[in-house]
Structure 1
Amino acid sequence: MAEARALMPALLERADEFVSLRGDLAELAQDLREHGRSESGGLPEAKAMEARLDEIIGWFGTQGVEVKGVAPLLVDFPAVLGGVPIRLCWLEGDRELAWYHRADVGFAGRRPLGRI
């Protein structure tokens, strides 16, 4: 758990960038579909945004973090608690690592870390 908590500042930095960029891309794509143009750019800018989003997602994997969803951004840190595989669970909007769930139960079994 200490390793996951130590990674949180870097995770939050990338998550904030991801969320902002995801919103920018959604607006750009909608403008292009609706009007054929956007103040944010065109297809080259959309492709650049997509590439950066992919880079950020790739970073999570290099850190051993599992990306479970992108809208909202949801990631799990594999861990073991009392011999039981768990996932330390972080959801977009959280500012700290405060939740976990058993690996075999998933998000529906999410519990506050304060209970362990």
Structure 2
Amino acid sequence: MKTFTLEEAQSLLPVVESLLRRATESRRQANSLEERLQALTRRIMFSGGMRVDVAKVGRDRAQMETHVQQAKDALEEIDAIGVQIKDLDTGLLDFPCEVDGEIVLLCWRMGEARIDFWHTLDAGFRGRQPIDDRFRPKKARDTKPERPN
């Protein structure tokens, strides 16, 4: 399992957010086309048959499949980076991170400006806790502010 420092995860946010938006939008478009095709199927069944623009239905199906594939591709890219997709509907992602010898998850949700939370592997979203100094670079933690004279 790939792990990220807080800084690495933060720097990846623009990339994974873009991929996540692409996946979400592609899925939304695919669902819309699927609903339209299902509505057509119901109308045909309830009316006992009807004239159908077969070419248009074929184009809609092909377009739906394209959107499904685009969503899958975007999600696979996120996964290949090493980021875990927890909930596509809310845009919830986890970045595995090692802190104090333990693997935890840096937790980010679409709409958040940066990664401000983490949780243990077991806790999930409900167990989110604010990022603390353990996640900051050791050098930054060791630097003490100078005292005024």
Separation of aligned partners in 1, 2:110 and 2:68:
19
| 2:122 is the counterpart of 1:104 | yes
Q: How far apart, in 2, do the equivalents of 1:70 and 1:9 lie?
A: 16
Report the Cα offset of residue 21 of structure 1.
Answer: 1.8
TM normalised by structure 2 equals 0.67
TM-score using structure 1 length: 0.83
1:24 aligns with 2:24: no
Following the alignment from structure 1 to structure 2, what is the Cα–Cα distance between the partners of residues 9 and 52?
Answer: 18
Structure 1 residue ranges without an equivalent (≥5): none
Shift of 1:52: 0.7
Could you say what secondary structure the match of 2:115 adopts? Answer: coil
Q: Distance in 2 between matches of 1:16 and 1:46?
A: 17
C-alpha change, 1:95 and 1:35, in structure 2 (3 Å) is farther
- Structure 1 counterpart SS, 2:107: strand
CA deviations on 1:72-111 (whole Å, 9 max, x unpaired) are 2322100022223210112233232222111122222012
Q: Write the distance in 2 (CA, Å) between the matches of 1:96 and 1:28.
A: 34
| SS of alignment partner, residue 93 of structure 2 | strand
Off by >6 Å, runs of 4+ in structure 1: none
RMSD over aligned Cα, in angstroms? 2.2
Residue type of the partner of 1:10? V
Q: Distance in 1 between matches of 2:111 and 2:38?
A: 29
1:15 and 2:33 aligned: no
Greater strand percent: which structure? 1
Superposition pairs of residues 1-116 of structure 1, within 5 angstroms: 1-35=6-40, 42-113=60-131, 115-116=132-133
Separation in 2, partners of 1:61, 1:76: 11
Contact 2:17 2:110 in 1 (8 A): no
**Does the CA-based 8 Å contact 1:98-1:112 persist in structure 2?**
yes
Q: Distance in 2 between matches of 1:92 and 1:43?
A: 29
Aligned residues: 114
Q: Matched residues, percent identical?
A: 23
List alignment gaps of at least 5 residues for structure 2.
1-5, 42-52, 134-149
**RCO higher in structure (CA 8 A, sep ≥6):** 2
